[in-house]
């Protein structure tokens, strides 16, 4: 029986790469993002390359009505979701004192409330079938003091670790993926042209490598996936260094 993955933020970046790699493994897809034309382009690409079924759901996950449409699709027992990839997100300035509070509330909703709702939607069906995988795209920022983005990702890391312990024995694994800086259009959406992000060249990762390692770790049932040795070392250091130093390092880049 063909399995189905639902991916949010699937129109570009890591979401589109998850779509490519999961389609290459023979999974049908439900792709979710705001940009219908960009979603259609990804859908057409993977259909042509891998002959899988692709459903496109153009939805703004911050609009309650549109979000609930996606949640209903995730929970549909007639068309079950075997893998959920919570990937949708955006960044904000580290200047919390200058950021409009409504922007912060929307940021929190997309990074915390939306994954919570989608996980809650797919879990009953996965548990009833005795199998399922949930991948939550977090960030190494979740391990360091780094504004509200790091705080939101810390919630996702913590909840994923607990949920993996809670449900793994019932056949459902939950893995938080915590990459560092990845070559996608994430920083461009922050208004930063390539090369102006303030990040050393050696700290950048490539999306195909991040996704491949994430899928390997999810298959192994790991609670947390930190792609690349350099970021594993940085996360280990962040646990022993004083907050003042770690927060200072977190100020580098955007």
- Active site residue ranges: 149
Distance CA 38, CA 44 (A): 10
Which residue, among 16, 5, 7, 6, has the nearest Cα to 207 in the 3D structure? 16
Task: Report the sign of the C-alpha dihedral through residues 176, 178, 183, 184, in that order.
Answer: positive
Supply φ then ψ for residue 182, to 5 degrees.
-125, 140
Q: How far is CA 164 from the centre of its chain?
A: 16
Q: Who's near 80: CB < 8 A, 6+ residues apart?
A: 4, 125, 129
Name the CA radius of gyration of the chain, rounded: 17
CA dist., res. 107 & res. 126, Å (int) = 28
- Residue 142's nearest CA partner among 158, 154, 152 is 154
Q: How far is CA 222 from the centre of its chain?
A: 15
Structure-block tokens of residue 41: 């382009």
Backbone angles phi, psi at 13, to 5 degrees: 55, -140
Task: Report the distance separating Cα 121 and Cα 70, nearest Å.
Answer: 10
Structure tokens at 39: 């979603």
């Amino acid at each position: 029986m063909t399995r189905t993955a639902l991916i949010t933020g699937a129109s570009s970046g890591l979401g589109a790469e998850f779509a490519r790699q999961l389609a290459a493994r023979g999974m049908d897809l439900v792709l979710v993002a705001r940009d219908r034309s960009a979603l259609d382009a990804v859908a057409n690409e993977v259909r042509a390359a891998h002959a899988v079924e692709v459903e496109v759901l153009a939805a703004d996950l911050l609009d309650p009505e549109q979000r609930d449409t996606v949640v209903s699709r995730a929970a549909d027992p007639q068309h079950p979701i075997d893998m959920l990839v919570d990937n949708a997100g955006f960044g904000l300035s580290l200047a919390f004192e200058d950021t409009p509070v409504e922007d912060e509330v929307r940021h929190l909703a997309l990074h915390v409330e939306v994954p919570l709702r989608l996980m809650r939607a797919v879990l009953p069906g996965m548990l009833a079938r005795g199998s399922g995988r949930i991948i939550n795209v977090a960030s190494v920022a979740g391990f360091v003091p780094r504004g509200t983005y790091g705080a939101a990702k810390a919630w996702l890391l913590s909840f994923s670790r607990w949920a993996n312990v809670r449900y793994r024995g019932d056949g459902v694994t939950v893995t938080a993926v915590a990459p560092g800086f990845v070559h996608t259009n994430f920083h461009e959406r922050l208004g930063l042209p390539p090369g102006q992000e303030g990040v050393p060249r050696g700290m950048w990762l490539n999306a195909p490598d991040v996704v491949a390692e994430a899928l390997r770790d999810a298959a192994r049932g790991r609670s947390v996936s930190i792609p690349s040795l350099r970021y594993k070392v940085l996360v280990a250091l962040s646990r022993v260094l004083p907050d003042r130093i770690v927060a200072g390092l977190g100020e580098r880049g955007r």
